[in-house]
Chains A and B, each alone.
Chain A
């Protein structure tokens, strides 16, 4: 055990800790199909509720509004969309996926109703504008995660 550094607490121990907690998460059939589509077809899929017509991306098994089973009602969304909002991440942390500064954006994909959160890259933070069109850039190497989309980049006009 270490002791504290301050003179007045030099006889007080610090109990060191490092947790090892392996775990797993079952993605489910619906989430897995979404990832497989990204990986194998480079297509972003959503589901549409036949009852209330809501389109969900990420997809759901049951409509959260009316509990209708919707997991077989897949719709192909565009890989492009409109940036509806964004923020710039400026603090460093080992757990973050990119070197700072990087941009987190909300992208309303063509055909979707709700924006989809992802990393926006290929543009300097000071040049980003709400309303600009962005497109999905897929990762070279699949990880079977949401990062099979590497980021969204501005569409060249």
Chain B
């Protein structure tokens, strides 16, 4: 099934705060306001030009109900139509997908999307997730967002040594990328000769998932401004076009309660459908950059296979060969990814934001050396909730 857009939508403004573990000198509206001001300045417009504000975070972590209302003084939404969206970890991308739909539909010309989390205020994200899990089946059993399912499956398929090495190589590569990104939260300065040591000595969390594999808890906000083609061309010299996006969600690790285990996860289903309807037959060849929501290094190496529709050990081989590195076939996470920076509901928005900056050539210290024309960004949340988005430098794919 092809998806037709009523009109084209461009990204015209991008703003983000520095991502850090403690934003102690700002409260929530102030942190959001910093990103709002940055996005407006990037677009060269003012709040008067914004027709609608879409706001989202992962609820409960900041312990503020209806945060969009309390944050009105930071969002600039006073007197404007406003939506609140919360789809767990995917929120940041759902905000962009929804904003794209709001503009493409013709409802609004210029929409501002705001994603944030301030996880240092939560105290314990695991506490939040387990305390509010389904009381009958999962509240006593859930281990927050931590799981070793992916590690177990990868080890079973490729053997412990190869799997563990690939996961650690991916993790160190992400840290090296984060080291180039001045906004990244954790820049540990890891080297590849630390692989064996980390595989043995990083504190174990669950099964084969160790502390070094796992994403951080960060504070930060991201804001993006989307505009109709007509407005986008007036506002920005280099709007980045949102070509298409898709959402696929299931809850397959809750399989015994809700679903049978399916042969294809939500990432693969999303990639298969999205690429098919856009005529992309070889995604490794097509995309110049991929920003992936990789909550752990294990998920990172597992999901690369799904997102690029690869088979067998093709994706692992590409990890081993450095094909996902900045100078490789498809640079993955030049931002440093989610293991470096994770202010949850800004996280998924930082993916398309980073891709758009790479396409514009405005990524600064971590700008890719190659020309970036075609970008891919993924969001992830819930148990398996995928949002996958294609971004383009040029408006030339119509009729494909």
* B122 close to A23 (CB less than 8 A): yes
User: Chain A interface: which of B24-32, B260-268, B284-292?
Assistant: B24-32
B33 lies within 8 A of chain A by Cβ: yes
* B63 close to A20 (CB less than 8 A): no
A21 CB contact (under 8 Å) in B63, B118, B135:
B63
A80-134 at interface with B (beta carbon < 8 Å): none
* B40 close to A28 (CB less than 8 A): no
* A23 close to B46 (CB less than 8 A): no
A52 lies within 8 A of chain B by Cβ: no
* A24 close to B121 (CB less than 8 A): yes
* A15–B140 CA distance with the chains assembled, in angstroms: 11
A15 CB contact (under 8 Å) in B30, B60, B136:
B136
* B131 close to A21 (CB less than 8 A): yes
> B60 contacts which chain A residues (CB < 8 A)?
21
> B30 contacts which chain A residues (CB < 8 A)?
28, 30, 61-62
* A25–B78 CA distance with the chains assembled, in angstroms: 23
* B27 close to A67 (CB less than 8 A): no
B124 lies within 8 A of chain A by Cβ: yes
Given contacts A15-B136, A15-B139, A22-B123, contact A62 B37 (CB under 8 A): yes
* B27 close to A28 (CB less than 8 A): yes
B139 to chain A, nearest CB (A): 7
* A26 close to B33 (CB less than 8 A): no
* A22 close to B127 (CB less than 8 A): yes
Residue of A nearest to B75 (CB): A64
A8 lies within 8 A of chain B by Cβ: no
Residue of A nearest to B77 (CB): A64
* B123 close to A23 (CB less than 8 A): yes
What are 7 A-B pairs at a CB distance below 8 A?
A17-B139, A19-B131, A25-B27, A25-B63, A26-B26, A26-B120, A26-B121
Across the A-B interface, the 5 shortest Cβ-Cβ residue pairs = A28-B27, A23-B63, A15-B135, A22-B123, A19-B131
Chain A interface (Cβ < 8 Å from any Cβ of B): 15, 17, 19-31, 60-62, 64-65, 67
